[in-house]
């Protein structure tokens, strides 16, 4: 099958390139009065930008409304502020709020709605990248006017949509498994870090009820903490070495084996950073992320860290993996130690190291850490499955939506 050059790239000879607005209806959301908003399930769910992608709403609207703004399950919604993206709404029947728009095909015998969902992903991201940043990016009417999309014959549209939907359903199942496993881990952490393994006698303490033979210790008494630094960017010989240099952006996993940036041994010797031995507990102490979570990880290889992190080295009576799990369980208490800035937040060291945590016997710490590590390994496998599926989907979208790979009808 021959291809032709078009304004949106090479496509098959029998495909068209069409202006989006000639083939779709667009309804922008309404500015519903917030005085009728509530969280008591009165009225209809109000669908705001923050709800897109979650398929659930945080607020309800109990005031008057035009039925035109009702959104049904399965309809297509676009976020018009910040990140421009299209969503297939799978939540409850609700109302379309301002800065969200609903889009649908004028004639489904010419343009399939699910194909439209996939075909619009790339153009919206392109507009987002091209839109100049002020404070918040806004998707405008003129942006819709200039979008062009490929239009294969209808049977091919439906087949493309079917293939991509199948991959999306597989991703959804993995997401469900991840949520279920995370829930299991949370429950296990609560159980193991308060009741331990096989205990029958308990005592009340300042951190709650714990096994009788456990101790309560001050965090600063059971570990040593060291900070990091950034080698001079002007010294080229400090960079692109073999030593992982960890900053907050690397703290995405439970265990650290590598990083985005690397430094040399010379950088460690001649700058404020230092080499952290394996099996230390790394904690982000300064970052905007501290507004909602505290990234914690254990490094499995020697690393260096920047000034936004601290490395905790447990003493002989504290197992590193147990300490990491304990800190994750005590995240709400750690968040109370955070000093908030306009954009960057930081943990106040004095408060952090004064926190009290449970101290089981070393052998029991190891058993608890092993149980939780098994769940973490399951989570890691599921996340890798999701990454693989997303990689497959990205490749399929590139091939199918350009006609590089044709589908059999």
pLDDT, tens digit, 9 for 90 and up, residues 243-293: 999 999 999 999 999 999 999 999 999 999 999 999 999 999 999 999 999
Residue 203 lies in a domain: no
CATH number, domain at 121? Answer: 3.90.220.20
- DSSP-assigned states of every residue in 88-125: E--S-SEEEBTTEEEEEES-TTTS-HHHHHHHTHHHHH
What pLDDT is attached to residue 111?
A: 99
Does residue 200 form part of some domain? no
230 plus 351 within the same structural domain:
yes
Domain boundary among 116, 151, 186: 151
Q: How far apart are CA 264 and CA 52, in angstroms?
A: 44
For residues 284 and 294, the answer to whether their CB atoms sit within 8 Å is: yes
The CATH number given to whatever domain includes residue 166 is 1.10.287.1120
Quick check: is 162 in a domain?
yes
3-class state of residue 375 by DSSP: helix
Residue 202 in domain: no
> In the structure encoding, which two tokens stand for residue 55, read together?
């398929």
Give the domain-ending residue among 339, 359, 379: 359
DSSP 152-190: --HHHHHHHHHHHHHHHHHHHHHHHHHHHHHHHHHHHHH
343 band by pLDDT with thresholds 50, 70 and 90: confident
Confidence of residue 332 (pLDDT cuts 50, 70, 90): very high
DSSP β-bridge partners for residue 218: 356
39 CB-contact burial (10 Å; exposed 0-12 / middle 13-18 / buried 19+) = exposed
**Same domain, residue pair 368 and 349:** no
Q: Name the residue range of residue 320's domain.
A: 215-359
Task: Answer whether 11's CB lies under 8 Å from 103's CB.
Answer: no
Number of domains the chain contains: 3
Is the separation of the CB atoms in 199 and 367 below 8 Å? no
Tell me the three state secondary structure of residue 359.
strand
Query: And the tokens for 134?
Result: 């002020």
Whether pTM exceeds 0.85: yes
**Residues 220 and 233 placed together within one structural domain of the fold:** yes
| Confidence at residue 409, expressed as pLDDT on a 0 to 100 scale | 85
Check the CA dihedral 64-69-72-78 and report its sign: negative
Q: Is residue 238 part of a domain?
A: yes
Q: Are residues 294 and 355 in the same domain?
A: yes
Using an 8 Å Cβ cutoff, are 325 and 369 in contact? Answer: yes
What is the pLDDT, as a whole number, of residue 45? 98
Indicate the burial class of 321 (C-beta count within 10 angstroms; 0-12, 13-18, 19 or more): buried
For residues 226 and 93, state if they share a domain. Answer: no
CA proximity to 290, closest of 331, 230, 330: 331
Q: Are residues 302 and 339 in the same domain?
A: yes
Does residue 240 sit in the same domain as residue 377? no
Which tens digits make up the pLDDT trace of 356-400?
A: 999 999 999 999 999 999 999 999 999 999 999 999 999 999 999
Q: Is the domain of 165 the same as that of 234? A: no
Is 205 a member of any domain?
no
Residues 147 and 126: their CA atoms lie apart, in Å, by: 10
Give the whole-number percent of the chain exceeding pLDDT 70.
99
Question: Of all residues in the chain, what percent carry a pLDDT higher than 90?
Answer: 96
pLDDT tens, residue by residue, 114-164: 999 999 999 999 999 988 766 678 999 999 999 999 999 999 999 999 999
Residue 269, in any domain of the structure = yes
Same domain, 252 and 188: no
How far apart are alpha carbons 115 and 162 in whole angstroms?
Answer: 9
pLDDT, mean over the chain: 96
30 bridge partner residues? 97
Same domain (yes/no): 39, 144: yes
Average pLDDT on 97-124 reads 98
> Which pLDDT value is given to residue 91?
95
Could you tell me if 342 and 368 lie in one domain?
no
Q: How far is CA 365 from CA 312, 368, 373, in A?
A: 17, 5, 12
The per-residue pLDDT for 195 is 98
**What Cα–Cα distance (Å) separates residue 350 from each residue in 116, 287, 322, 330?**
55, 18, 22, 16
Within-domain flag for 56: yes
Q: Give the residue from 60, 102, 61, 56 showing the smallest Cα distance to 79.
A: 102
Q: Are residues 333 and 226 in the same domain?
A: yes
**Residue 110: left (phi > 0), alpha (psi -120 to 50), or beta?**
alpha
Nearest to 223 by CA among 323, 306, 322: 323
């Amino acid at each position: 099958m021959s291809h032709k050059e078009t304004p949106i790239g090479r496509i098959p000879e029998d495909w068209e390139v069409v202006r989006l607005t000639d083939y779709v209806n667009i309804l922008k959301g309404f500015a519903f009065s917030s005085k009728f908003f509530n969280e008591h399930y009165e009225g209809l769910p109000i669908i705001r930008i923050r709800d897109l992608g979650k398929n659930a709403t945080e607020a309800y609207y109990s005031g008057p409304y035009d039925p035109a703004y009702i959104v049904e399950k399965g309809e297509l919604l676009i976020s018009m502020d910040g990140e421009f993206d299209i969503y297939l709404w799978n939540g409850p029947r609700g109302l379309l709020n301002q800065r969200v728009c609903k889009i649908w095909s004028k004639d489904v015998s010419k343009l399939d709605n699910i194909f439209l969902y996939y075909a619009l992903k790339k153009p919206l991201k392109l507009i987002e990248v091209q839109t100049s940043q002020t404070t918040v990016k806004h998707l405008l009417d003129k942006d819709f006017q200039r979008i062009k999309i490929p239009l294969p014959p209808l049977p091919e549209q439906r087949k493309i949509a079917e293939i991509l939907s199948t991959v999306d359903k597989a991703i959804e199942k993995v997401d469900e498994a991840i949520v279920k496993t995370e829930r299991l881990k949370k429950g296990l952490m609560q159980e193991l870090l308060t009741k331990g393994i096989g205990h029958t006698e308990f005592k009340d303490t300042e951190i709650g009820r714990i096994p009788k033979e456990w101790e309560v210790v001050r965090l600063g008494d059971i570990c040593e903490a060291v900070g990091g630094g950034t080698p001079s960017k002007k010294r080229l010989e400090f960079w692109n070495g073999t030593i992982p240099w960890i900053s907050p952006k690397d703290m995405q996993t439970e265990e650290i084996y590598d990083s985005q940036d690397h430094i040399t041994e010379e950088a460690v010797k001649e700058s404020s950073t230092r080499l952290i031995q394996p099996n230390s507990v790394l904690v982000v102490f300064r970052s905007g992320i501290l507004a909602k979570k505290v990234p914690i990880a254990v490094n499995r290889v020697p690393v260096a860290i920047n000034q936004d992190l601290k490395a905790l080295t447990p003493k002989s009576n504290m197992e590193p993996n147990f300490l990491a799990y304990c800190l994750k369980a005590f995240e709400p208490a750690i968040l109370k130690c955070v000093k908030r800035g306009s954009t960057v937040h930081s943990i106040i060291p004095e408060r952090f190291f004064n926190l009290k945590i449970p101290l089981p016997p070393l052998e029991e710490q190891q058993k608890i850490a092993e149980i939780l590590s098994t769940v973490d390994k399951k989570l890691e496998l599921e996340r890798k499955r999701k990454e693989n599926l997303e990689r497959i989907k990205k490749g399929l979208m590139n091939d199918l939506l350009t006609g590089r790979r044709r589908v059999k009808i």
